[in-house]
Amino acid sequence: MLINDSIKAKEVRLIGEEGEQLGVKSLDSAKTYAYDRGLDLVLIAPQAVPPVARAMDYGKFRFERDKKEKEARKKQQVIKVKEVKLSCRIDTHDFDTRVNHAKRFLTDGDKVKVIVVFRGREMTHQEIGRELIERFENAVSEFGAADKKPVMEGRFMSVVLAPLKNTPVKAKKEKPEQNTENKEN
């Protein structure tokens, strides 16, 4: 935003400190109006004809704007995508371990990308990978659901699972404080 002496227009549409329209004024008279009240002249809409300028306390305006942006960032929820890789010949216990990891990720509020890796001749049996993904989806169905159908990407078949809305998201645990007391033997 251009302020005070960096404004190069010959005339501006002036808006007062309370938001009232003061009409089209020359740049010098607009600056005089702002300076007499201890304010800055800020160019709000430079593309308008004539450009729109407002008399305001620019420092206060910047502070308020930065404060609003900070609040917006606080309210923003960052969703991470975690990956779980499976192969067509995965054993039951390994499958259950991957399911437990996915459940934990989903309860933490993260998305889970399930990838089935095809090696060599396994590419001819893509239905096995599809069945494996369906079995995985059913195992985590109470925590998350698939956004789309499984997709083939080269030698990988993948699907993204999103956490369900009604599942309460666990708060991330902080590390417990360690006891610094000396223990006697």
Q: List strand residue ranges (DSSP E) for 57-121, in order.
A: 81-87, 111-117
Residues 6 or more apart whose CB falls under 8 angstroms from that of 169 comprise 107, 108, 109, 163
Helices (H) and strands (E) in the chain, counts: 4, 9
pLDDT digits (tens, 9 = 90+) for 18-61: 888 888 888 888 888 888 888 888 888 888 888 888 888 888 88
For 136, how many CA atoms within 13 A lie in the half-sphere containing its CB? 35
The string of pLDDT tens digits covering residues 85-143 is: 988 888 889 989 999 999 998 888 888 999 999 888 888 888 888 889 899 888 888 88
Angle at 57 between CA 55 and CA 60, to 5 degrees: 145
pTM higher than 0.95: no
